[in-house]
């Protein structure tokens, strides 16, 4: 059975197409990644799938229920960890979990047992009676993962679960998620813009840019689709049209003044490429990872979180 199925899902704000026609189909038990830069439409998609936003058009079925017609049934089926922390800082970790259990109508007798179980999963038993204000960023995220799991959802959404955490904590969070996926049978949908994380964790990945899916496959196949190796060239008078005719060249893209050439077996064919290309200022060969896949499909680098946002806030403050 499909856990999630969307058809032509759209969210349009005036002129801005936040999500511009997404067709997705996620199988039960799958770990599915939504990858894309800031503002690509990942969070908006999750918000629609979790019924917090109404789609402008299109349909979405979550656990077989329509997000517009039966939002209550959808909400019963899902758990969610939001991008920004959403626990109450004046309550203790235990109290936050207890509230959640009550709101999800868990049987009163089982609540304590279930809370202990999820606390154990994320290693927070010892700090459960501290108020959340005293937690570190990583602990708070873990608490919210535990909270999302408390009512044993069929589908678990994680929106940038490692955003704003230091590398070590990020590593830990992913270990928890991986262990969870192994222990509990459920579908996990995770958004991220950390390539290496998505590559390691997900069964399949959809790359989203400007509200559309530009590629969807297993990480391995996505990488393979770029055509083997990537040769980056820089130069003013490169003979690109001749290069394109070569049998082992799978495609050429321009990114930031560099030419990215997808090449089969670059180790063997590099000499030929350089001979035909003409005068080259810079050359680099590497095997592709998801970052290249992203570049390949969207023609631009994915920016690190923070740069753009920080700049924008500064501008707003200055004006």
Partner 1 sequence: MNIRKTLKGLYALWFREFRVFTREKSRIISSVCLPLFWYFIFGNGVGSAMPSGAGNYQHFIFPGFLAMTIIFTGLFAGAYIVWDKKVDFLKEVLITPLSRTTVFFGKAMGSMTDALIQSYFLLFIGILLGIPFTPASIFLSMLMLFVFANGLISLGLIIGSFMESPEGYGLISSFVIYPLFLLSGALYPLDNLPGWMKFLTRLDPATYAVDGLRAVILGTSALSFTSNLLIVLGFDVLMAAVGTWAFKRMKL
**Can you give the binding site for partner 1, defined by CB under 8 A?**
47, 50-53, 72, 75-76, 78, 80, 82, 84-91, 95, 98-100, 102-105, 131, 147
Which is closer to partner 1, CB of 62 or CB of 261?
A: 62
Q: Nearest approach, Cβ of 196 to partner 1 (angstroms)? A: 27
Buried b (16+ CB within 10 A) or exposed e, 58-90: bebbbbebebeeebeebbebbbbbbeebebeee
> Checking DSSP bridges between strand 282-286 and strand 57-62, what pairing results, if any?
unpaired
Q: Nearest approach, Cβ of 112 to partner 1 (angstroms)? A: 15
Rounded CA-CA distance 26/170 in Å is: 25
Q: Nearest approach, Cβ of 156 to partner 1 (angstroms)? A: 12
The 3-state secondary structure of 178-201 reads: HHHHHHCCCEEEEEECCHHHHHHH
Query: Using an 8 Å Cβ cutoff, are 192 and 172 in contact?
Result: no
Which is closer to partner 1, CB of 146 or CB of 214?
A: 146
Q: Nearest approach, Cβ of 106 to partner 1 (angstroms)? A: 9
Which is closer to partner 1, CB of 88 or CB of 301?
A: 88
Q: At what angle do helices 167-183 and 137-149 cross, to 10 degrees?
A: 20
- Look at residue 263 and give its three-state secondary structure: strand
Query: Using an 8 Å Cβ cutoff, are 278 and 235 in contact?
Result: yes
Which is closer to partner 1, CB of 102 or CB of 179?
A: 102
Which is closer to partner 1, CB of 157 or CB of 259?
A: 157
Which is closer to partner 1, CB of 91 or CB of 274?
A: 91
Residue 7 tokens read as 């058809």
Query: Using an 8 Å Cβ cutoff, are 147 and 87 in contact?
Result: yes
For 191, counting Cβ atoms within 10 Å of its Cβ (0-12 exposed, 13-18 middle, 19+ buried), the class is: buried
Q: Nearest approach, Cβ of 150 to partner 1 (angstroms)? A: 11
Buried b (16+ CB within 10 A) or exposed e, 122-148: bebeebbeeebeebeebbbbbbbbbbb
Q: Nearest approach, Cβ of 139 to partner 1 (angstroms)? A: 17
Which is closer to partner 1, CB of 72 or CB of 281?
A: 72
Q: Nearest approach, Cβ of 81 to partner 1 (angstroms)? A: 10
């Amino acid at each position: 059975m499909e856990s999630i199925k969307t058809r032509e899902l759209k969210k349009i704000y005036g002129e801005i197409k936040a999500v511009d026609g997404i067709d997705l189909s996620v199988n039960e038990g799958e770990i599915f990644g939504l990858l894309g830069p800031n503002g690509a439409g990942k969070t908006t998609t999750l918000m629609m799938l979790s019924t917090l936003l109404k789609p402008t058009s299109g349909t979405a079925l979550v656990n077989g229920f329509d997000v517009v017609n039966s939002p209550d049934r959808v909400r019963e089926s899902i758990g969610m960890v939001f991008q920004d922390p959403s626990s109450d800082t004046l309550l203790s970790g235990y109290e936050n979990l207890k509230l959640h259990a009550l709101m999800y109508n868990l049987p009163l007798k089982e609540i304590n047992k279930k809370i202990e179980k999820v606390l154990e999963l994320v290693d927070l038993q010892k700090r459960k009676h501290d108020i959340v204000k005293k937690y570190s960023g990583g602990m708070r995220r873990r608490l919210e993962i535990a909270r999302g799991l408390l009512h044993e959802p069929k589908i678990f959404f994680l929106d940038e679960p490692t955003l704003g955490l230091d590398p070590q904590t990020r590593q830990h969070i992913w270990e928890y998620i991986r262990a969870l996926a192994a222990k509990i049978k459920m579908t996990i949908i995770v958004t991220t813009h950390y390539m290496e994380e998505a590559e390691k964790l997900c069964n399949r990945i959809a790359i989203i840019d400007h509200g559309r899916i530009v590629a969807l496959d297993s990480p391995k196949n996505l990488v393979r689709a770029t055509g083997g190796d990537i040769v980056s060239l820089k130069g003013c008078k490169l003979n690109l049209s001749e290069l394109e005719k070569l049998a082992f060249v799978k495609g050429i893209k321009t990114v930031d003044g560099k030419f990215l050439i997808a090449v089969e077996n670059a180790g063997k064919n590099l000499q030929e490429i350089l001979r035909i290309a003409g005068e080259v200022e810079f050359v680099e060969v590497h095997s592709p990872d998801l970052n290249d896949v992203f570049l390949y499909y969207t023609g631009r680098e994915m920016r690190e979180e923070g740069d753009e946002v920080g700049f924008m806030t500064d501008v707003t403050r200055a004006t």
